[in-house]
Amino acid sequence: MLTSFDALALRPELHEALAAVGYREPTPIQAQALPAMLEGVDVIGQARTGSGKTAAFGLCLLNRLDLDLLQPQALVLCPTRELADQVGAELRRLAARLPNLRILSLCGGQPNRDQKRGLEGGCHVVVGTPGRIRKHLDTGGLQLSALRVLVLDEADRLLDMGFQEEVDAIVADCPEQRQTLLFSATFPEEIERLCGRVQHAPYRVSVEAQVAPELLRQMAFRCTPDQRHPTVARLLRAFRPSSALVFCETREDCEDLTAFLAHRGAVALALHGQKEQRERDAALIQLNHGSVSVLVATNVAARGLDIPALPLVIISELSPDPESHLHRIGRTGRAGEAGLALSVVAGARELARLEAIETFMGLRIERVITPDEGEGLSFLTPPNRTLLILAGREDKISRGDVLGALVKEGGLPPEAIGRLDLGRKTCAVAVAREHADAALRYLQSGRVKGQRVRVTMLS
Ligand code: AMP
């Protein structure tokens, strides 16, 4: 088994990027899949978000590009824009040392005109959602004659979301001679059939059996149904995580619980399918920036999100579907980090759900006495706040420009600035909570790279 990236025949720029992003050892899916992928064979990967699958196919496709040929040579199909954004961000991180590499995002819900212009400028890699990609193929803006690698990411969700026809149409436009990599968390018959249609003698790898139970501790806490929300608050107080993800079954409960926790002093945000895309993006950015401590989410919103190293997941209401429970707890204890998943079990109905989950997973979940009532949740104040600057790469603004404006001109201490996410039209920057107001005031009155910018504080 591959234990180090050094043994892989990757371009030196990719080895450098791996060192720069701090990936020291391959994750199990990377260790199993990369050697075969780099030989050019088709691969089926059974793995979900959190396994490191993006870097696995990302390294493969970046390694195969001819940088002198400005034509789409790799295409990644994703079920949602959120996933496409995460894939694009991971590819850009890994491609940071490859000069002039162009990655284009083509997703629904974004202006067609900008995408057409992007295509006219040329690119090496396209990441996007099937509907929009097919549209660009139909209008002739996108051509796949130079394609070398096709990736179907979260293939089960692609089909669940009704993209079968689009996927088939897109595949029909790809050259016969290509490498096809397919990732899916589950393998119902339709996926097996899809693999048969789009792949050639695929090599199969699976990391599902390797969810390391020793890294993930589960506990269950019983209460009466009317005590569900107070029990979540007690668990947060007792376990004092730096951040946590809490799952609810319904959108109403998600909103109610968020309000309940916020009322007790936690900085909490709700994330569910009825939220606008903009609000969902903002919630995720803030979690990644350390600007929100508790994200309260429904299943719909929570699948496929890239939330690194979450120390604690609380399941406020057990799902009747044991597999869905597996997805939820998979949000903690990822990529080698220890995790903790706490389930609130309210009433007899949920006790039956807990038992069904135990049977499904083939293990017993420890029953623990619910901790006592205590003080408020004000310790759940995150260290940072996130400023959103309404200018980005398209305005020729770089990370250095934003850092320069805040530190050199605005006078903020460098250590007060955290993660900075530069997008096409926006730049989100994490600033230590005590300096956030000053940073906002400076950006509202000062300039970034000589330009006046619009800026807001996310909350
Ligand atoms: P993914 O399953 O692709 O969504 O990746 C899950 C998380 O693991 C992402 O936040 C990656 O940045 C991180 N990751 C991927 N590969 C590695 C690695 N070899 N070592 C450490 N972290 C990794």
DSSP assignment string, 311-327: -EEEESS--SSHHHHHH
DSSP assignment of 165-191, as one string? HHHHHHHHTS-SS-EEEEEES---HHH
Q: In the chain, what are the domains? A: 5-206 (3.40.50.300), 216-380 (3.40.50.300), 384-457 (3.30.70.330)
Using CA atoms, how far apart are residues 122 and 379, in angstroms rounded to an integer? 49
Residues framing ligand 1 (Cβ under 6 A): 23, 25-27, 30, 49-55, 306, 308, 335
What does the block give as tokens for 266?
């936690």
Q: In this predicted structure, what is the pLDDT of residue 322? A: 87
286 CA distance to ligand 1 middle (Å): 19
Q: Give the contacts of 137 (CB within 8 A, at least 6 positions apart).
A: 143, 144, 169, 170, 173
Question: Within a 10 A sphere around the Cβ of 99, how many other Cβ atoms?
Answer: 7
85 CA distance to ligand 1 middle (Å): 15
Nearest protein CA to atom 18 of ligand 1, as residue: 23
Report residues of the chain scoring pLDDT below 70. Answer: 208-214, 301-309, 334-337, 374-375
Using CA atoms, how far apart are residues 345 and 353, in angstroms rounded to an integer? 9
Q: In this predicted structure, what is the pLDDT of residue 51? A: 83
Which pLDDT tens digit goes with each residue over 371-386? Answer: 877 668 888 889 999 9
Q: In this predicted structure, what is the pLDDT of residue 337? A: 67
259 CA distance to ligand 1 middle (Å): 32
Sheet containing 455-457, strands listed edge to edge, beginning at the edge strand earlier in sequence: 417-422, 427-432, 384-389, 455-457
Using CA atoms, how far apart are residues 13 and 330, in angstroms rounded to an integer? 32
Q: In this predicted structure, what is the pLDDT of residue 207? A: 77
Q: In this predicted structure, what is the pLDDT of residue 209? A: 45
459: three-class secondary structure by DSSP: coil
